[in-house]
């Protein structure tokens, strides 16, 4: 009898949602309760870009406050490049950290329409494997990583600030092993790139 009720309930739910939608909803709920990685992106404007826009990605040399090892230099720009290249065919990344003026000058020299200027605002790289435990040996440092990234999208010709965004990310209980704050950026960066094109999830 129980299996019949369960089967009927699943069939009723299956009629309301596609399997992919159910999977996405389960993933969202598991990330919301802290089992999987979770991120929250806040934008100031909802402007859209043309798909053929040429975007230059740079990262500031600012080293964020926080505990644990510092993230590698240019990590945010690298993750942004990997995500943006899926949606914008004309993307270029700075080879290393740059100041804002240098990033705009380099973007102009290569003919880019926009500069996506990024930086970590805060990181907390917690102990997630045996090597990190050996280095720190502090029980209060066990747990999942967190990070905050700030981004500015600037039009290179006018230096007009098109958009600003803030990504707050947190690792999950099931995914914290061997992770660092920069490992949490791929999904929110893809989501931000899609939102700049006006694409839904």
Q: Domain check: are 103 and 79 in the same one?
A: yes
Q: At what angle do helices 186-196 and 75-84 cross, to 10 degrees?
A: 50
CB-based contact 77:189 (threshold 8 Å)? no
Q: Domain check: are 29 and 47 in the same one?
A: no
For residue 21, pLDDT over 90 is answered with no
Structural domain of 189: 38-196
Q: Residues 126-182: pLDDT tens digits?
A: 777 777 777 777 777 777 888 899 999 999 999 999 999 999 988 877 776 777 788
CB-based contact 65:122 (threshold 8 Å)? yes
Q: Domain check: are 174 and 124 in the same one?
A: yes
Please report whether residue 201 resides in a domain: no
Q: Domain check: are 83 and 135 in the same one?
A: yes
Closest CA to 77 of 149, 125, 147: 149
CATH of the domain at 83: 3.40.50.800
Q: What integer pLDDT is reported at residue 39 of this predicted model?
A: 82
Q: Residues 65-117: pLDDT tens digits?
A: 767 677 788 899 999 999 999 999 999 999 999 999 999 999 999 999 999 99
Rg (CA), the chain: 20
Residues 86-114: b if buried by 16+ CB within 10 A, e if exposed? ebbebbbbbeebbeeeebbebbeeeebbb
Three-class DSSP category at 9: helix
């Amino acid at each position: 009898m129980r299996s019949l009720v369960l089967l009927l309930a699943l069939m009723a739910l299956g009629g309301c949602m596609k399997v992919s939608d159910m999977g996405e909803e389960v993933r969202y709920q598991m990330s919301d309760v802290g089992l999987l990685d979770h991120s929250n992106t806040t934008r100031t404007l909802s402007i859209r870009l043309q798909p053929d826009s040429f975007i230059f990605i740079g990262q500031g040399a600012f080293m964020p406050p926080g505990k644990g090892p510092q993230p590698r230099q240019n990590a945010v720009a690298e993750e942004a490049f990997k995500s943006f290249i899926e949606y914008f065919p004309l993307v270029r990344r700075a080879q290393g950290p740059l100041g804002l003026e240098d990033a705009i000058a380099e973007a102009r020299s290569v003919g880019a329409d926009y500069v996506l200027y990024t930086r970590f605002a805060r990181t907390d790289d917690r102990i997630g494997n045996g090597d990190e435990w050996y280095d720190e040996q502090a029980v209060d440092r066990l747990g999942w990583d967190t990070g905050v990234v700030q981004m500015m999208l600037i039009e290179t010709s006018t230096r007009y600030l098109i958009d600003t965004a803030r990504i707050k990310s947190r690792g999950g209980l099931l995914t914290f092993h061997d992770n660092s704050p920069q490992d949490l950026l791929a999904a929110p960066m893809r989501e931000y790139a899609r939102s700049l094109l006006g694409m839904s999830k």
